[in-house]
Structure formats: structure tokens, C-alpha cells
Structure 1
């Protein structure tokens, strides 16, 4: 006998993305091996072989875990566990990150474009030296096969300092941790460090030339490109 009543509307169950499945497997490995904070994960090549995936695919899962603060990845030393979360906690943090991405991009577009324009107007010889030093740092990191996260951070800090705006600098400081998430995420994409470095050089050239409009436009294009991160969206 059929049950009468209003039919239930069922939606499709979203299939976990591959990097989410890999994150779960990595956490399973961490749990099985009873790894704790400060313990090192296997080398990327070995871990990819154990999981039966390419290193490129594994890298996506590792970037996601790094963005969420679960691991710390240092060039040449591999991934170190920061803390051991449950998968439920990890997925919740992942969704929270995804939801705030548009707001982070909006804030960066608003603040950093203005900062670049002000830097072109107000930069001193010392400011230009700091910008050049940041470019050299990032170039060295990228040449060594690293992502250039530290050099990237130094460059944007140098631009902020060159703008000589205490209030804007304070606002940038307020969102710095959120920007770090997107920085790691963006520079973890194949070929992205080289693209970002080239964009930084164009921004620096406009600032050095004292061209506020060009500096603002170059920064705007840069923020637009680095915000195109399909991994965690």
C-alpha cells in the first residue's frame, strides 16, 4: 500500500572532490601512525605512491591542508604536521574558507590597488630598495623551485609601507592572515609563482616611474589573476 502525502524532494548528493578524498586518506594515515604536532609526513613522492595518485594531484590536497593550517610545508624539508584534526572539523574549516574567499578578494582589490597608486606618489629611495629586495627574494625562491611565498609577502608589505598611509596599513595588517591563506593557495598552482613574480616586476616598474594610474592598474590585474584559484572554490 502506497503512503499518501506530499512527496519528498531529494537533491543530488555532492560527490567529494578528489583532493577532499586524499585529505581524508592523509588524515587516516596520520591517525594510523599516531603522528602528532611536529612529526613529518612521508616525502611527497612516497606519499603519492602509497595513495596511488600523481604528485600533481597529491600537491592539491597538501596545499588545501596547508591553507587550513593542518600542515606546514617548507621547501626541501617536506610537510610537517601542525595539529591532527577530525575530518568533520577539516571539512567545516574548508567550507568556511570557501565562503570567505570572495570577501578576501574584494578587500584586497580595494586596499592594494589604492596602496599601489599611493606608493607611486609617495615612495622614497628606501621604499624602492625594500621593493627591489623583495623581488630578489622571491626570484631566488622561485629559481630554487620554491613557491616564493615569503618573497611574495615581503613584496606586498613593501608596497604597503611605500604608500605611507597608517590607516590603510592597519587595515592590511587586520586581514594579513586571511591573505596568507589565498597566497599559499594561489602560489601552489602550477606556473603561478613565475606569473606572480612577473606581475610584481610590472607593479614595481610603475611605482619606480611615479605613475599612480599604471601602478593601480598593474596591481588590479595581479589581484585578479591570483584570485583565480579553482582548488578550494
Structure 2
């Protein structure tokens, strides 16, 4: 009899996540429809019906493609193809992005919590005006049916500026692109723009009151809120 070792049992293959399946289907549609960069994808309602998923689920899959630069989601227009990408490269990019999320949250907690505390101690009237303008911009975007991503970005930039810490501002600029990724994904979730805006107002109130401890605590709660991205779990 042969003494050859018995073959090892095959491990169970991990089931693709729903958003990965959706991304694959969306890329398949782009290929079959022969869409070219600059072409508009069908409306979310039509796409959701074709794929048999809710619009909320589809919206998060579209944001995943937006983060990777495959499409550009424009308010009032829809999803526009930026470039055609292979399924393998996109899935690889999404998995790498998902694995980075804890590191991004850790960096934000380290930097932005301290920046909020410093802003409460060092802010000027001009800094407060910039923070209030950012809140108003985000409110206007949400009222218009948008996600509020630009106002969100302006708010965090205003808090960073109010801290008057050039080195920490440079560190925030370094992680800016990664923060933008999580911002888009977070704000795409139902009800999140309004929650994020309310959270911003709490941070602003603490900065206005010159309460460094409250500002730090409010920023930490905010980061925990916006880092809860269902799509990437």
C-alpha cells in the first residue's frame, strides 16, 4: 500500500460580502452596457430594481465605487462613470480599504480629539465664525437633499484651524484622503448626515464655551459615530 499522505481537507471558502456581490454586478452592467467614462449610470431606483436590492444598500455599494474612483456620484445628476475597472482590482481595493478602517479611526481619535481640545482653548472669534459657516453649509446641503460631505469637511478643517497647531494640521492633511473615504461611506447611510450635523453642533458648543474637556469628549463621540460604517463590517 502506498504511504502517501492523505490529502488535506479543503477549507470552506468565505462567502462574498453583499457589497462585493453588488459591486461585481454593477461592474458587469457597466461592461455589458458598454458604458464609457463620462456616461451616466441608470437612476438608483432602476438599478435597485434590476439588482433586487434596496436603494439604501445600492447607495452604499455606489459609494464604495466612488471611494475607489470608479464613479462620481453627483447630487441632482446621478452616478457618472469615471473609468472602467476590472472586478478583481476593485474587490482587492475594497478589501484593502476595509482593513485600513481601524487604523483610520485610531489616527482620527489621536489627532482630532486633541485638536478639539486645543480649539476650545485657543479659538478666536474668527475661528468661531468659520465653524458656524461650516455648520450652515452642511445644513444647507442636507436641506437640499445632499449628504453634506462638503460642509462636513469644512467643519473639521475649521476645528483644525482653530487649534492653531501647524504640525498637527499637517498631520491631518496627510490623512485627509483616507478620512474622505470614511466620510463618504458614513454620510451615505440613512439618517447619518443629520446625526453627524447634530454631533458637530455639540463640538462647536463646547469650543464656543472654551470647555476643552467637553470638546474632546464630544469629538471622540463623533468619531465613534461616523466610524460606524455598516458597509465595511
* 1:158-212 deviation digits (Å, cap 9, x = unpaired): 0000001100000000000000000001111111111110000000000001111
TM score, norm. by length of structure 1: 0.96
Are the equivalent residues in 2 in contact too, given 1:19–1:61 (CA < 8 A)? yes
Q: Does 2:164 match 1:164? A: yes
CA shift for structure 1 position 3: 8.2
Q: Distance in 2 between matches of 1:69 and 1:12?
A: 32
Give the aligned length: 233
Q: Which residue of 2 aligns with 1:229?
A: 229
* 1:126-170 deviation digits (Å, cap 9, x = unpaired): 110000000001111112221111110000000000001100000
Q: Structure 2: any 5+ residue segments left out of the alignment?
A: none
CA shift for structure 1 position 99: 1.4
Q: Distance in 2 between matches of 1:38 and 1:124?
A: 44
Q: Distance in 2 between matches of 1:2 and 1:19?
A: 47
Q: Does 2:79 match 1:79? A: yes
CA shift for structure 1 position 229: 1.1
SS at 1:36 equivalent: coil
How much is the aligned-residue C-alpha RMSD, in angstroms? 1.5
CA shift for structure 1 position 71: 1.1
Q: Which residue of 2 aligns with 1:65?
A: 65
Q: Which residue of 2 aligns with 1:110?
A: 110
* 1:105-131 deviation digits (Å, cap 9, x = unpaired): 100000000000000011111110000
Q: Which residue of 1 aligns with 2:179?
A: 179
Q: Does 2:103 match 1:88? A: no
Q: Distance in 2 between matches of 1:196 and 1:144?
A: 16
CA shift for structure 1 position 79: 0.6
**After the TM superposition, which residues 38-53 of structure 1 pair with which residues of structure 2 at under 5 Å, given as runs?**
38-53=38-53
SS at 1:85 equivalent: coil
Q: Does 2:227 match 1:189? A: no
Q: Distance in 2 between matches of 1:229 and 1:53?
A: 18
Q: Structure 1: any 5+ residue segments left out of the alignment?
A: none
**After the TM superposition, which residues 27-46 of structure 1 pair with which residues of structure 2 at under 5 Å, given as runs?**
27-46=27-46
Q: Which residue of 2 aligns with 1:208?
A: 208
Are the equivalent residues in 2 in contact too, given 1:64–1:232 (CA < 8 A)? no
CA shift for structure 1 position 9: 3.6
Q: Distance in 1 between matches of 2:124 and 2:158?
A: 11
Are the equivalent residues in 1 in contact too, given 2:138–2:149 (CA < 8 A)? yes
Between 1:28-37 and 1:5-14, the stretch displaced more is 5-14
Are the equivalent residues in 1 in contact too, given 2:60–2:185 (CA < 8 A)? no
Are the equivalent residues in 2 in contact too, given 1:41–1:78 (CA < 8 A)? yes
Q: Which residue of 1 aligns with 2:134?
A: 134
SS at 1:45 equivalent: helix
TM score, norm. by length of structure 2: 0.96
